[in-house]
Structure 1
Amino acid sequence: MGMGLELNTTLVTKGKEVRKEDNLFQLQKDGYRLYPMHTPIEIRTTKKSHSRGYARIEKIQWHEGRTTISYKLISLNRTN
């Protein structure tokens, strides 16, 4: 039996991100997900929302069917 894996090129937060300090955030998602690391990727609140800006993923951790993403917000298009 294989492990399900989803490949993403946009970070969709659904408002569940947690600020750790300044521009560093952490987000947990169900399932195993893979994102490009150390390169700017678009960040959105929902799949259909406007782009909020760009983030750079610093760390991805898979554990017990969840993905934890640590990222740095590097540019912001708009506030709220």
Structure 2
Amino acid sequence: MAMSIQIESFINTYGKEKRIEENNFELILDGYHLYPMDVPIYVKRRESDTPVGEGIIKSLLLSEGKTKIVYTLTALKSIN
């Protein structure tokens, strides 16, 4: 049985991120997504948007058709 997976080069939040504490956020997405770990990558609202900042993914969990990441926002370029 094949499993569909997307390889990501930046974080698309789609406005679904939840602040855990200070600059740490949790994001749960439908489907399976692989991200680079422990390196800064751009954070965007949507694929076509310009980056709003940079984040470092600290944890990645693939389970039951969903992806859960926890990332630290390390740079903020815009609040809108």
Q: TM-score range by the shorter chain?
A: over 0.9
Q: Which runs of 5+ in 2 are unaligned?
A: none
- Work out the number of aligned pairs and report it: 80
Q: Which runs of 5+ in 1 are unaligned?
A: none
CA–CA distance in structure 2, aligned partners of residues 3 and 79 of structure 1:
36
> SS state of the match for residue 41, structure 2?
strand
Q: Deviations over 1:36-56 (max 9, x none)?
A: 000000000011111101000
The 5 A counterparts of 1:37-52 are 37-52=37-52
Percent identity over paired residues: 38
1:68 is aligned to 2:44: no
Which residue matches 1:16?
16
Which residue matches 2:59?
59
TM-score calculated relative to the size of structure 1: 0.96
RMSD: 0.6
Runs of 4+ in 1 over 3 A off after TM superposition: none
Letter of the 1:9 partner, please give it: S
